Amino acid sequence: MSKKKKWLFIFLGLVFLAIFTTAMLPEEKNQERSKQEQTVPLEVASELPKAPTPTREPIITIDPDLFNSMLTERAHKLPYFPKGTIEIEEIKNDVIRMWFYFDEMPTSTNVIEITGKRIVKTAIDILMENEIDPCDPSVFIRTVVAKKEKGVTGKNLVRIFGKAHYDRLTDSIKWEIRK
């Protein structure tokens, strides 16, 4: 075979390969590439896309004030429950965020951990009595355990000890110490 024929076959093979690959590429990718290369005015570029609003109704429909009063009443009836205040930070989009503030300095780290877990457990009990499943993937229950203090200058400070939250995958209450 002569060199000219060899080069001709190589050239024709490359041309065929180029035509074949462009024919097999979906048009959407070609259009996406051209969209990426377009320029837009600065005003349009600075506008952030808006996140879609959730279409489902929230699972937790309890009134926050009622939930707080039920939780406080039940928690303080528990044996050996320390003196302190429970505050609901928010009940929104199936998320319950709570704070427990000790009135006095806790005696040990075990007291801190047990208090946080007991508050989360009490919240779970209230939800289950109201036929709300805490195992639903959208439900998140958390309690931060802390103590309010005053700084040297009299400024209000908070000493955070840790947080307890319900883990639906292991169906248990987890404790994380403040790091």
Helix ranges, 25-130 (H): 27-36, 42-46, 64-77, 109-129
Measured at the CA of 122, the angle between CA 128 and CA 77, to 5 degrees, comes to 130
Q: Do residue 111 and residue 37 come from a single domain? A: no
Going by pLDDT thresholds of 50, 70 and 90, the confidence category of residue 55 is: low
pLDDT, tens digit, 9 for 90 and up, residues 92-135: 878 899 999 999 999 999 999 999 999 999 999 999 998 888 88
Q: Mean pLDDT over residues 9-27, rounded? A: 73
Using a pLDDT cut of 90, give the percent of the chain over it. Answer: 41
Q: Each residue of 139-161: pLDDT tens digit?
A: 899 999 999 998 899 888 999 99
- Which whole number is the average pLDDT over 7-14? 79
160 assigned to some structural domain: yes
- Averaged pLDDT, 27-42: 50
Separation CA 10–CA 2 (nearest Å):
13
Inside any domain, residue 88: yes
- 141 occurs within a structural domain: yes
Beta strands per DSSP E along the chain:
84-92, 95-102, 140-150, 156-167, 172-177
CB 141 within 8 A of CB 147: no
> What is the domain range of residue 73?
64-177
| Residues 25, 99 within the same domain | no
Binned at pLDDT 50, 70 and 90, residue 36 comes out as very low
Nearest in space to 101 (alpha carbons), one of 114, 122, 91, 115: 115
Residue from 105, 69, 72, 101 nearest 84 by CA: 101
Assess whether 97 and 160 both reside in one domain.
Answer: yes
CA–chain centroid gap for 27, Å, is 38
* CA distances in angstroms from 91 to 28, 88, 162, 172, listed in the order given: 44, 7, 20, 21
> What is the tally of structural domains in the chain?
2
In a domain, 24, yes or no: yes
Which residues, in sequence order, are CB contacts of 158 under 8 Å at separation 6+? 101, 146, 147, 148, 149
How far is 129 from 122, CA to CA, in rounded Å?
11
**Residue 170 forms part of a structural domain:** yes
